[in-house]
Amino acid sequence: MQYRTLGRTGVQVSTLALGAMNFGRIGNTTQDEATAIVDAALDAGINLIDTADMYSNGQSEDIVGKAIAGRRDDIVLATKATMPMGDERNHRGSSRRWLVTALDDSLRRLGVDHVDLYQIHRWDPDTSDEETLSALTDLQRSGKIRYFGSSTFPAYRIVQAQWAARDHHLSRYVTEQPSYSILQRGIEAHVLPVTEQYGMGVLAWSPLASGWLSGAVREGRQIATNRSTFMPERFDTTIPSNRARLDAVERLATVADDAGLTMIQLALGFVTAHPAVTSAIIGPRTLDHLHSQLAAAETVLTADVLDAIDAIVAPGVDLAAHEKFDTPPALLDASLRRRATAIR
């Protein structure tokens, strides 16, 4: 396993991180199965575990807490908040009111007195940066969190948050967690230059592109991944963006074969090759999945392989841009990009 410094924190983390989204109902992974995955991941040298309160409505945190009991000090533990936790309108978002409560709930489920990294799961347009950063700074000073970061923030919001921290003399986001894979390279054009500028650590989620790069998705095969069962539209090859992904996968498979690599090694090696990326978050549902992904822990792609990938999916290009979660609200709501008609 390789290790890198998480931004400018001085904390050393493995280049593969264990994501726990599949623990519980989402991935149908039981406590015993998840504990075995955690055991094997730690034995292989992974020292960063990432979860979130909304994964299976808290079940993932419960499972992680039981799996790491007795060895918490050896783990860099990360979780997230802001996504809805029930129907109550204030049980979501990044207000001080909710973050203080959400963190206490996460600590209880995890069975710990602090987390190393607390992340804002999505940018909350209804809450000011000062409100959120002030709450996070106070939680940090109380000892309940060591550092805090953002997740899937648009580049301009990352910059705005850095400025707000400076202007109000508050602690700042030290990490960003964006979606990044060979098939979704848009962050290379805007997010990664910003994180490099501010010395932020980057934890890339979905490096296997929801299973597209797992090796299980190929032309002429029935697509059967965990994501395809509850998000079938992402794998409907009659949709042009999905057809483009499948065509790219076929060409990438040839690159992997020629290099003597599996598709998983190619995909994870690509993500960790970027100098701005600290770790790629893997999300195995089974031990077999974990072992196939751990095989990429020492993968270093050569320049000719990276060039071949660039020829298939150009730098900075998303093959399914509509699936990104960092789209500015004005692109989704027509009323936000039109001036109100003056009343005469």
Q: Which residues carry out catalysis? A: 55
Question: Beta strand 3-5 with 12-14: parallel, antiparallel or unpaired?
Answer: antiparallel
Rounded to an integer, what distance in angstroms lies between the CA atom of residue 63 and that of residue 40? Answer: 15
Are residues 313 and 182 in contact, defined by beta-carbon separation less than 8 angstroms?
Answer: yes
Non-local (6+) Cβ contacts of 155 within 8 A are: 190, 191, 193, 194
- Cα 88–chain centre separation: 26
Non-local (6+) Cβ contacts of 104 within 8 A are: none
- Cα 131–chain centre separation: 24
Angle ∠(37,39,44) on CA atoms, nearest 5: 95
Rounded to 10 degrees, the C-alpha dihedral 49/19/95/332 comes to 160
Rounded to an integer, what distance in angstroms lies between the CA atom of residue 145 and that of residue 153? Answer: 20
Are residues 13 and 278 in contact, defined by beta-carbon separation less than 8 angstroms?
Answer: yes
CA distances 207 to 16, 130, 197, 260, 343, Å, are 10, 32, 23, 20, 50
